[in-house]
Amino acid sequence: MRFVHTADWQLGMTRRVLGARPPKEAAGGLTGEAQARFAQARLDAVSALGRLADERDAAFVLVCGDVFESNLVGPDVVARACEALASFRTPVLLLPGNHDPADAACVMRRPDFVRRCPPHVTVLDTPGVHEVAPGVEVVAAPWRSKHPLTDLVGEQLAALDPAPPGTLRVLAGHGELDVLDPDDDEPARIRRDGVLAALADGRVHYVALGDRHSAWVDAVDDRIRHPGTPEVTDFDEVDPGHVLVVDLDEHAAHVTVETVGGWRFVRHDAGLDGDDDLDALDASLGALPDKERTAVRLALVGTLSLRQRSRLDDLLAAHGHAFAAVEVLEQHSDLATVPDDADLDDLDLHGFAADAATDLFAAAGREDAEARDALRLLHRLVGGPR
């Protein structure tokens, strides 16, 4: 039996790094060019995995939670998601996760979703065993609220008897295993022991999980898996952009990883202590492929002169136009601008202006950021056309 395991589509997500909507622009929808392209990319990834499922003749596509970024996404997001789903020929099972729990506001029960939802899509909003095909059962552990007080997966597993012979059971759950995130205070954490036990005694044959945006497989039993998000959502994700094609029998699962995502979120740490480092930064940014689908986050550490700092500003501005986003993460950066004598000579000042500049230089040497800014302004005013 073959099915496609995916999760964390996060439809409706926006990323601040990709820019704000211009001020005064009308509300509603994503604005900003990169933001819009990113939103489209998420939908494209869904369409791609749909095509993949069709091509591979999968029995169904199982989405383990967080189909939507929130229960309160706009009708446009819902409509586009439904359109994307409608392009599937393979049946689709949608499990409510922590972002879109099956509570009173559940997006997958909203009239606009229900009206547009294609018939081959099933929402697993009731916990328990669902027979999705002859001899194939999916045990759903949907989120009913944002803050469940129990291990939902464990609860479902505890209620199960071993699967009847000839029946394959797939558990669909959402959440971190306790080994991945040993947070004692979180009552909804999934107990790995229980899951392993259920797999061992044949109550289920595959545990399909969601919530973790990076792909992950359990070291002991490779039938416990996180597929990761099909399209990257953040800089700290490891190997996102994939879906799993699972060939399952009662004893083992054969899993193929397929890539559907096209964007990259790259974090780049650089030490800047001179023109050479600037050159290197320039080169490394220039070497990145697919810049229009890449967001770069820089953490810069070092000391630059006034002139070098101006060069850095110019350099970043120039690359900013090519990339979807280039941002300097202030909290991880420690970049000092210390003017040197060459800067002072460049100014070519005399009289009291020279005295003032000397004053500012001295203050700038004492980590006075305002004085450095003032010096840069002086640079500009003197260097500017008379």
Which spans of this chain sit near other proteins (rule: CB under 8 A)?
A: 12-14, 16, 19-21, 23, 27-31, 35, 69-77, 103-105, 107, 110-112, 145-146, 349-356, 359-360, 369-371, 373-378, 381-382, 384, 386
Instruction: For residue 208, give the nearest of 172, 174, 179, 243 by alpha carbon.
Output: 172
Helix (H, G, I), strand (E, B) or coil at 257: strand
Minimum distance, C-beta of residue 173 to other proteins, in the bound complex (Å): 21
In what helix (H) or strand (E) does residue 370 lie, and over which residues does it extend? helix 369-383
C-alpha radius of gyration, the chain, whole number:
27
In what helix (H) or strand (E) does residue 173 lie, and over which residues does it extend? strand 168-174
In the complex with other proteins, the residue whose CB is nearer, 76 or 221, is 76
In the complex with other proteins, the residue whose CB is nearer, 225 or 372, is 372
The residues, any chain, with a CB within 8 Å of residue 362's CB and separated by 6 or more, are none
Minimum distance, C-beta of residue 175 to other proteins, in the bound complex (Å): 19
Minimum distance, C-beta of residue 362 to other proteins, in the bound complex (Å): 11
The residues, any chain, with a CB within 8 Å of residue 188's CB and separated by 6 or more, are 147, 148, 149, 150, 151, 152, 175
Contact 53, 90 (CB under 8 A): yes
In the complex with other proteins, the residue whose CB is nearer, 60 or 113, is 113
In the complex with other proteins, the residue whose CB is nearer, 249 or 330, is 330
Minimum distance, C-beta of residue 200 to other proteins, in the bound complex (Å): 36
Minimum distance, C-beta of residue 367 to other proteins, in the bound complex (Å): 14
Contact 285, 319 (CB under 8 A): yes
In the complex with other proteins, the residue whose CB is nearer, 259 or 310, is 310
In the complex with other proteins, the residue whose CB is nearer, 38 or 206, is 38
In the complex with other proteins, the residue whose CB is nearer, 279 or 313, is 313
In angstroms, what CA-CA distances link 329 with 240, 269, 293, 302, 358? Answer: 22, 10, 19, 14, 31
Minimum distance, C-beta of residue 372 to other proteins, in the bound complex (Å): 8
In the complex with other proteins, the residue whose CB is nearer, 29 or 187, is 29
Minimum distance, C-beta of residue 357 to other proteins, in the bound complex (Å): 8
Minimum distance, C-beta of residue 223 to other proteins, in the bound complex (Å): 34
Question: What pairs with residue 4 in β-bridges?
Answer: 61, 245
Q: How far apart are CA 308 and CA 313, in angstroms?
A: 9
Instruction: For residue 326, give the nearest of 335, 334, 315, 337 by alpha carbon.
Output: 315
